[in-house]
Structure 1
């Protein structure tokens, strides 16, 4: 059963306001919680949703209907961060974030499903995804309200994601912004390309290290388009090393050199700044 605790952040906060206004939880979720009397105090006693609560009141939320349907597989992925609301996992290159179909296997979410079920829950959903060849940090919600809040934060550009990439060639500019719209490549089923009719895409970067034939950069996303970093750097003539889909040079292990290294945000439940990095 999925559950979490929350400590009220202001005087006279009500559960009704918390769920409907502050968190803007889904109507179905709110209805199910109300019917199940699933908000209680620390002694397990239900609380009237209209009662004003003192700041610092500890509430317990239970979400019996929260179930994810991923097939579970034994987890061997490092959990970098975890609290009652989210966890962050370090994905290896070469693994998909989630399966294509309901019964698919071999992905991050299959392994995380095994992890959360071993810890008494049935729910886990990714907030964002990484390309199969990209390694690094993925943020995962542990209950539906966290999923709703972090999805909204992602859409509002309130989650900062930082990447490290090794590029082919000597990139002369020490820092800059790549602002090129990205759309589908009609000649290839999965490729993207810079296109005047594409979606707005903005990548900021700064150089960390250079050698004669490669450049290591730190890149942050202002938007989150499919293959954005890969497309942008390939477009300026410096593809990610190993990314042969976008004209990158071949690597010995066949993987390309792009890693999601840092996630930063203001935690919507504690209201404190949080940074998770590798």
Structure 2
């Protein structure tokens, strides 16, 4: 689909398959825009067709009409811009995918700085973009890898729904203790809070549904470890860490869930790929996130393979 940013406006050329569809149907049904945002866009006259404000959102559009949406408006960042190293893996007018390092929170808690969101705000500021920092999902403080941010409100709403419908695919790798005999499988165990520890989670019959798919990539003998690739079907707090520990194969370095710090000072867990269908262009986006140095050193140090 042909889309183009023109100043504050996004211009969409109506494709053949949208011929006869109304503005209302595109915004509500195709893009699933939230009612509050769409009402605001209507009241502020932020929707045009062929350069003219069109109050009849139910009128049909035709092939090659130009639907124009004023999406790129100035907003407060929501967090303080702060210069921090930032590895941008993918960026366009609508979304940003960055590589979160270990030891960094995704967003501020209790107004603390030094987070990925602060770094993204600074990146936006340096590029002349004034928009709210919208993270679509999070990673634990000591988990590395890809995190998706939206660059305007409609992109944020669409990406949030895509995540909820499992249309944003995230692939992780982890080094675990022990030799995992099962080549592939799924862990379907509910996860809830551990009432004996403020930050731990645990497998609990009264918890929330959690499903993790895994595939064993490699086994190492000295010390006995496994390299596992994982995909989430749900996104519970600490889900991979809890599930692997429950399976009897805690992640190396994950002291909260039974792992030992052997060659790495944090959990050896990395989000190595993010893939999705672009919400506006319909292109397939697949972004590989390189393994960080500490995980590469861990792999190199485990030299005796089975």
- Report the TM-score, using the length of structure 1 for normalisation: 0.91
User: Is the CA contact (8 Å cut-off) linking 1:2 and 1:143 kept in structure 2?
Assistant: no
Report how far residue 3 of structure 1 moved.
Answer: 5.1
* 1:196 paired to 2:196: no
Correspondence for 1:265: 276
Report the number of matched residues: 276
Correspondence for 1:124: 133
User: Is the CA contact (8 Å cut-off) linking 1:5 and 1:84 kept in structure 2?
Assistant: no
* 1:234 paired to 2:240: no
Runs (4+) of structure 1 exceeding 4 A deviation are none
* 1:276 paired to 2:287: yes
Correspondence for 2:12: 6
Change (3 A) 1:115 1:46: farther
Report how far residue 253 of structure 1 moved.
Answer: 4.9
Structure 2 counterpart of 1:18, from 1, 19, 26: 26
Question: After alignment, is 243-252 or 84-93 more displaced?
Answer: 243-252
Change (3 A) 1:53 1:183: same
Report how far residue 231 of structure 1 moved.
Answer: 0.5
Alignment of 1:150-189 (within 5 A): 150-189=159-198
Structure 1 counterpart of 2:97, from 85, 88, 100: 88
Change (3 A) 1:130 1:172: same
User: Is the CA contact (8 Å cut-off) linking 2:84 and 2:114 kept in structure 1?
Assistant: no
Distance 1:49 1:261 in 2: 45
Correspondence for 1:219: 230
What 5-or-longer segments of structure 1 have no aligned partner? none
Report how far residue 95 of structure 1 moved.
Answer: 0.5
* 1:249 paired to 2:260: yes
User: Is the CA contact (8 Å cut-off) linking 2:49 and 2:67 kept in structure 1?
Assistant: yes
Distance 1:217 1:4 in 2: 42
Distance 1:263 1:54 in 2: 34
User: Is the CA contact (8 Å cut-off) linking 2:78 and 2:133 kept in structure 1?
Assistant: no
Secondary structure, in 3 states, of the residue corresponding to 1:238? coil
Change (3 A) 1:68 1:132: same
